[in-house]
Structure 1
């Protein structure tokens, strides 16, 4: 992900150069000095020249921290790493030009610990200090607060959760003055809850574009796993998904990201994933132990207390389409259209979709519409110039039809043959249904030798993204 890391002084002197992958050309350091440091008009924290990208931040002591990447890397992850590196440098009193020149060996040892082959592997101060030959200059009781002080003026990618008591009658008590600092900055010591419970929500948004002949031009699912925890002590959570072995992480190589998609028939409705799901572009909360995930494919983490976003993912293959829309549109008159639309639900009959709405754009200068629907409520919206077919609840494995004839304005000058026909769009929400076929296979929580009396809740929520059909 990171090809090289440079640290400059305020006036542009190169103090530290760490080459993580293939050694960049020597002129790279000069390019950044000329294009950014000596250029007063530069305001962007990222500079791209050809296939090389410079991500940079400026520390409180006016040091330039620059990460160079030669591939399509995750910019948010790189900036997160740079800000945490800035916190580590401050913890070792390496935040000034003079200190870096005096203790440059400590800085290089620090970079060897946090970077392996261009991939950030460890950025938490308590864990880094255990691997360093030199201990940090900050007191041990301030190990978990130094990052908060340095990040107070920066936008973090992963926000620390606040206490959420809205869904539980229990309460939490945090013991004061722990004898030693926590090894997990996102979770302080001494948390106690009257009732131990955890809520896991798998939220998915499906987007699809169907052409006029019924072939699927684009289909994908953006998923997110949200967790709300109210657990005492320092619990260790482990859960597994039915994902395939080829799972992409934010630090995956380019060869792992490119996957074959020749097996999909674009003219057919994709069937449910059988057994496993191919996840792409997975992004995890810092609490997730990535090394264990890469080894045994189990998501292991010590969670923050409260609500937080555990992971995001992307799925493109073998999707479960919840609805099938079959439109037949013909020219009924000089400037009039006749719509015959069939809406069929493909999810199991025991499930129900709520807030279903099909939006059908109409030609310009339409003043009214003759409507006949087998179920639901359909009305002509003059402001949007569209038909809105609504269902408060839509049962699975059911089919409904809609017939409508547009009434154009008198002496209309619009040529319906030249009307571009914007696609129909569908909105919905289905509970306990997974568009990608993703399933939580197991979910375990342990806390040392303590017998945990735990309440676990797992919920699947599927919503519509850009669910569109051309006609």
Structure 2
């Protein structure tokens, strides 16, 4: 397996912003060949991996108005390179927040230093931001701590050579705590009759670690495979994960053999787990819209929104976007709950409800006037879906549950774990009826 021969950061017109050669085996103008290859495809037929007649392999991703492209002269591990490119973008976001053409131009020195540290002879090395910031200390991104060159260099070497490279030793807190946020986003498409056409749950476990020393954590979930491996049956709902991804700190062998998540966490904020569940769930919200054309110049909407989750839960900041004719004007709204605003730029009205309790239903009435000259797209709104945004604290739609979180450290201090559950909307749409 061969690594990356060179890496390019190009603008949206294919002009070179940053280039780094790791092996002197490529023509200097090879990016021009890549640009010509791009022109052979449109946005629907374009492929992220391309090979030219000379046997060079181009692997690239797009981010905002930039193209991150690598060239390999011989057979290479494409998945490794894609993983590196996405990780490179994440690291740049940690430094610049917005990774765009302007931020690359303004910080080209830092970008070159990152490329030198993250790749060695074309092979990925250190990609952890917290370690890289120990290496790279330019004037623009100085750390707040006092300069201690000899000690810092020693720590950096120890971190990279240590098997736990994502956490440095000597971390101390007066109060030892760890916070877990289980955040689930529900993608759902509901048909005109209220039937579920598509439902998908995208979840993640975000951790904020404020623990001293080098603690060892064990996390137990209501994992269906765990109960089956133990020959046990759980009274609570068990979750069967379709796709699960861990932070590098998790011991994968432990999870594969025992279905136990054991890890030494990085310090601060990080994503411990991301997962996807392709399961059918009952819609959290249903919306019925009755449309009545009072005359050629007047249309009325009667909107009924209902929550289908348990009464003990409450959704916050609910916004229901109902499509209206693109030439609608002079809106008049009437509702006993929340407020309604007309949003011409989105061709919709937005019904905002600050708190929406479970098993509740609310009504809203809207009247719009229409011009006598009919817009050619006046009836297009009936084919557009209703969109809903919301957030439900202390609730997971999948039934995901943290069964326990054990914290162990050689010093034997007591630590407090905190767990919070949140369900949010992903792409939650209901077709107009």
Q: TM-score range by the shorter chain?
A: 0.5 to 0.7
* Inter-CA distance 8–333: structure 2 relative to 1 (3 Å threshold): closer
Which is worse superposed, 211-220 or 73-82?
73-82
Residue number among 318, 323, 336 corresponding to 2:285 in the alignment:
323
Distance 1:311 1:305 in 2: 16
Which is worse superposed, 229-238 or 413-422?
413-422
Distance 1:75 1:324 in 2: 43
CA displacement, residues 367-388 of structure 1 (integer Å, 9 cap, x when unaligned)? 1233332311123334444211
Q: CA deviation at 1:416?
A: 4.6
Aligned residues of 1:55 and 1:79 also touching (Cα < 8 A): no
Partner of 1:461: 422
Aligned residues of 2:341 and 2:351 also touching (Cα < 8 A): yes
Partner of 1:222: 202
Q: CA deviation at 1:298?
A: 1.4
Residue number among 183, 186, 193 corresponding to 2:173 in the alignment:
193
* Matching of residues 403-418 of structure 1 within 5 Å: 403-414=365-376, 416-417=378-379
Q: CA deviation at 1:438?
A: 1.0
* Inter-CA distance 308–423: structure 2 relative to 1 (3 Å threshold): same
Residue aligned with 1:430, SS? strand
Distance 1:320 1:466 in 2: 15
* Matching of residues 304-453 of structure 1 within 5 Å: 304-319=266-281, 321-334=283-296, 336-414=298-376, 416-417=378-379, 420-448=382-410, 450-453=411-414
Partner of 1:42: 34
Q: CA deviation at 1:183?
A: 2.9
Aligned residues of 2:221 and 2:401 also touching (Cα < 8 A): yes
- Structure 1 spans left out of the alignment, 5+ residues: 11-32, 83-146, 164-173, 247-272
Partner of 1:25: none
Distance 2:87 2:301 in 1: 54
Distance 1:312 1:295 in 2: 20
Distance 2:73 2:197 in 1: 45
CA displacement, residues 170-221 of structure 1 (integer Å, 9 cap, x when unaligned)? xxxx998789764301111222211111011111211111122222222112
Partner of 1:98: none
Residue number among 278, 295, 298 corresponding to 2:257 in the alignment:
295
Residue aligned with 2:193, SS? coil
Partner of 2:130: 160
Aligned residues of 1:55 and 1:68 also touching (Cα < 8 A): no
Residue aligned with 2:256, SS? helix
Distance 1:212 1:182 in 2: 57
Q: CA deviation at 1:151?
A: 1.4
* Inter-CA distance 416–326: structure 2 relative to 1 (3 Å threshold): same
* Matching of residues 202-217 of structure 1 within 5 Å: 202-217=182-197
Residue aligned with 1:207, SS? strand
Partner of 1:276: 238
Q: CA deviation at 1:460?
A: 1.0
Q: CA deviation at 1:234?
A: 0.8
Distance 1:380 1:8 in 2: 52
CA displacement, residues 51-92 of structure 1 (integer Å, 9 cap, x when unaligned)? xx96879xxxx99685346xxx6864376899xxxxxxxxxx
Distance 2:178 2:115 in 1: 26
Q: CA deviation at 1:280?
A: 2.7
Residue aligned with 1:468, SS? strand
Aligned residues of 1:282 and 1:311 also touching (Cα < 8 A): yes
Q: How many residues align?
A: 337
**Superposition TM-score, scaled by structure 1 size:** 0.61
Aligned residues of 1:319 and 1:437 also touching (Cα < 8 A): no
CA displacement, residues 207-243 of structure 1 (integer Å, 9 cap, x when unaligned)? 1111222222221121111101111111111112223
* Inter-CA distance 383–297: structure 2 relative to 1 (3 Å threshold): same
Q: Considering only aligned residues, what root-mean-square deviation do their CA atoms show, in Å?
A: 4.3
Residue aligned with 1:293, SS? helix
Partner of 1:150: 117
Distance 2:272 2:283 in 1: 25
Q: CA deviation at 1:428?
A: 1.0
Which is worse superposed, 201-210 or 418-427?
418-427
Q: CA deviation at 1:413?
A: 4.5
Distance 2:262 2:401 in 1: 17
Q: CA deviation at 1:347?
A: 2.5
Partner of 2:83: 77
**Superposition TM-score, scaled by structure 2 size:** 0.65
Distance 1:308 1:204 in 2: 16
Residue aligned with 2:383, SS? coil
Partner of 2:2: 6
Partner of 2:95: none
- Structure 2 spans left out of the alignment, 5+ residues: 7-24, 39-46, 61-70, 89-113, 135-147, 227-234
Partner of 1:253: none
